[in-house]
Structure 1
Amino acid sequence: MRAEDLPAVHSLQCDAYSASYQEPLDALNSHFELGRSTCLVAVSRGCVAGYLLAHPWSGLPPLLHQPVRHPTQNEYMFIHDLVVAPALQRSGAAVSLLSAVLKIAERDLFSFVRLVSLATAVSFWQKRGFSPAKDEVLPAGYGDAVLMYREV
């Protein structure tokens, strides 16, 4: 991903989610700044058609809609968001983006990856080795989302 991809990333996010989950461009940019090597795009016909925002993190997942700052330590790799345009869904693009970031997490010696899944996407993540995290409460604003993790 490059900084100039962020408007297309924002557009994809707005198309994919209801208003309560859409984040301002400055919040997306802050995730990109934390993970320049772990924020990835899928390109189709010269256009950004999917993305994965991931970066090192520590503690509970960051608040939605707010720019993030570099954590004091890098405890794990956090997948902030994964979106693929409808035209690329079921093409393997999402799995390719995920596989790439898992390889980076392993290379960078993270022992696990965490994410917050929409309730409707839990089965997608479970099929890829993620499990719900028990006994942890998500920050306000995540609704019925599920905190999930996977060892690398």
Structure 2
Amino acid sequence: MIREMLDTDWSRVAEIYKQGVESGIATFNTECPSFDEWNKSHIKECRYVYEEDGMVVGWISISPTSSRCVYKGVAEMSVYIDSAHKGKGIGTALVNHLIEESQKLGYWSIYSAIISINKASIALHKKCGFREIGYRERIAKDIFGEWQNTTLMEYRAS
């Protein structure tokens, strides 16, 4: 079941995010932000969780890509699935839900910068209609100190 993310979901959202940090392929962050930091950097709309048997097992949200008003319809997407629940279609359901709901709110471009070795995330994005628009070479070091590229992907509303 997909529903709006509540502030009270933060502990599970943070646990799932920490799994991404520890994987070394989901984010360049080395620790999970506090709820206040995360809340300030993410758009209040289009925050969703996937709940299974009463437990949050995945989440998705968007962040602004620019503070300039001409880019108000452009956002960067984050999607994280609990490692014990991957491969069940949860990511696909969340991404498709976010695309549909974000378009209703006037978003025309959803962007993702994915660590290039995260082949599962790239495949998920392609499955949901994203296209590769470029990459950034050796953009940052992962938690293991290795330089990584990011693959840039975009979904454009028709």
Q: In which range does the TM-score fall when normalised by the shorter chain? A: 0.7 to 0.9
Q: Which position in structure 1 is the counterpart of 2:105?
A: 108
Identity %: 15
Map residues 74-89 of structure 1 onto 2, 5 A cutoff: 74-79=72-77, 81-89=78-86
TM-score, normalised relative to structure 1? 0.74
Q: 2: distance between equivalents of 1:114 and 1:104?
A: 15
Looking at secondary structure, tell me which structure has more strand per residue: 2
Q: Which position in structure 2 is the counterpart of 1:126?
A: 126
Q: 2: distance between equivalents of 1:35 and 1:114?
A: 14
One-letter identity of the residue aligned with 2:15: S
Contact 1:50 1:84 survives alignment (8 Å):
yes
Q: 1: distance between equivalents of 2:48 and 2:115?
A: 20
Q: Which position in structure 1 is the counterpart of 2:155?
A: 150
Query: Closer, same or farther in 2 for the Cα pair 1:10/1:141, shift >3 Å?
Result: farther
Q: 1: distance between equivalents of 2:91 and 2:73?
A: 24
One-letter identity of the residue aligned with 1:23: C
Map residues 52-91 of structure 1 onto 2, 5 A cutoff: 52-58=60-66, 71-73=67-69, 74-79=72-77, 81-91=78-88
SS in 1 for 2:149: coil
Shift of 1:56: 4.1
One-letter identity of the residue aligned with 1:29: N
- CA deviations 1:59-116 (Å, max 9, x no partner) are xxxxxxxxxxxx232141320x211113322222111111111012211222211111
Correspondence for 2:37 among 15, 20, 27: 27
Q: Which position in structure 1 is the counterpart of 2:9?
A: 5
CA RMSD of the aligned region, Å? 2.5
Q: Which position in structure 2 is the counterpart of 1:65?
A: none
One-letter identity of the residue aligned with 1:24: P
Q: Aligned pairs, how many?
A: 136
One-letter identity of the residue aligned with 1:15: Q
Shift of 1:52: 0.5
Query: Closer, same or farther in 2 for the Cα pair 1:109/1:98, shift >3 Å?
Result: same
Unaligned runs of 5+ in 1: 59-70
